[in-house]
């Protein structure tokens, strides 16, 4: 049985990856995350199905011990905007050095190990057409997150024999915590993706790793996940209402992203089982679990109506 190490396993994508891998029932899984009450709470339910280890990807001794014994590493540990854009050194310390440490361990102790690295589509400049993997990369000097992702991609390509790099667009997740949903410019075309779909892609790539080895792919949400950024905010206000994240972002977000849409990878699409989900089904599910947020929706009405007026102009 092949062994898989998942870093950042208690995160939004990490938990979905664990669920998908467990369903496959053909891998020995090790979940790694920083020790905290939240991580322990999320991972505890898996304790009889996987190996759970608490530690830091910057701990070279720990990573050496883990990586030498695994066939695959799915590297999800790191920080996301807007937090990582507050400081150049902050993002570099956590994301770049952690990735560098993993690459060093693989290179020295287990060169056959395959690394799945998660990058971001924010590295692309604004396009007036579908973005492809070969579209021009242009990153603002203040966008430390995207610069770190590009640097990590280069590290992977230069030092590893076996790797898969996925560039992912904005992820629809738990809106209670997902502050980066407010990071995009107003009235822009966006293409989104769900955390469950990202996890499905990742596990797919592991199952068919020979087809994906040494490839860089964009994980497209597809036509069903394309939307104007103003329309997206209207859906959020209608479904979830207003949240602290909105005010947090307005106060502390140092950078705004442009929206893009992405060309679907036909090879990946042909492997996928379910193509029927959409942004509408996502918000329908969200509304069902957010029934207690009536006051939040009422408070959001002025903001929603302002956006609706802007769309009519």
Q: What is the pLDDT of residues 182-217, one digit of tens each?
A: 777 788 889 999 888 899 999 999 999 999 999 999
C-alpha 231/C-alpha 57 separation (Å) is 39
> Could you tell me if residue 80 is inside a domain?
yes
Residue 219, domain extent: 2-173+192-226+261-276
Whether pLDDT at 300 is above 80? yes
> Could you tell me if residue 215 is inside a domain?
yes
> Could you tell me if residue 90 is inside a domain?
yes
Domain holding 209: CATH number?
3.40.50.720
| pLDDT for position 177 | 56
The average pLDDT across 75-91 equals 74
More confident site: 256 or 201 = 201
> Could you tell me if residue 269 is inside a domain?
yes
Number of domains in the chain: 1
> Could you tell me if residue 234 is inside a domain?
no
Question: What are the tokens at 99?
Answer: 């990735």
C-alpha 83/C-alpha 133 separation (Å) is 26
> Could you tell me if residue 312 is inside a domain?
no
| pLDDT for position 183 | 72
Whether pLDDT at 90 is above 80? no
> Could you tell me if residue 181 is inside a domain?
no
> Could you tell me if residue 82 is inside a domain?
yes
What is the share, in percent, of the chain residues with pLDDT greater than 90? 50
* CA-wise closest residue to 263 among 217, 202, 209: 217
Q: What is the pLDDT of residues 105-163, one digit of tens each?
A: 999 999 999 999 999 999 998 888 899 999 989 888 878 888 999 999 999 999 999 99
């Amino acid at each position: 049985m092949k062994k898989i190490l998942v870093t950042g396993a208690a995160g939004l994508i990490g938990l979905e990856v664990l669920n998908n891998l467990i369903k496959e029932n053909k891998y020995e899984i090790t979940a790694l995350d920083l020790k905290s009450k939240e991580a322990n709470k999320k991972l505890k339910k898996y304790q009889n199905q996987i190996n759970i280890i608490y530690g830091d990807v910057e701990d070279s001794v720990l990573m050496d011990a883990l990586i030498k014994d695994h066939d695959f590493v799915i590297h999800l540990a790191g920080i996301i905007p807007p937090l990582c854009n507050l400081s150049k050194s902050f993002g570099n310390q956590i994301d770049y050095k952690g990735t560098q440490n993993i690459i060093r361990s693989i290179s020295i102790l287990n060169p056959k190990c395959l690394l799945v690295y998660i990058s971001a589509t924010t590295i692309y400049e604004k396009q007036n057409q579908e973005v492809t993997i070969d579209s021009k990369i242009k990153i603002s000097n203040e966008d430390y997150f995207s610069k770190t992702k590009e640097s990590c991609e280069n590290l992977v390509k230069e030092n590893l024999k076996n790797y898969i790099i996925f560039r992912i667009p904005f992820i629809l997740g738990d809106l209670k915590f997902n502050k980066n949903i407010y990071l995009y410019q107003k009235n822009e075309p966006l293409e989104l993706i769900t955390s469950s779909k990202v996890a499905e892609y990742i596990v797919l790539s592991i199952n068919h790793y020979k087809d994906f080895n040494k490839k860089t792919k964009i994980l497209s949400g597809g036509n069903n996940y394309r939307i104007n950024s103003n329309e997206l905010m209207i859906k959020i206000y209608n479904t979830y209402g207003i949240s602290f994240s909105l005010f947090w972002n307005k106060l502390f977000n140092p950078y705004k992203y442009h929206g893009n849409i992405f060309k679907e990878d036909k090879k990946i699409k042909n492997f996928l089982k379910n193509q029927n989900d959409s942004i509408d089904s996502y918000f329908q599910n969200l509304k069902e679990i957010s029934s207690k947020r009536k006051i939040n929706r009422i408070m959001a009405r002025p903001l929603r109506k302002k956006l609706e007026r802007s769309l009519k102009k």
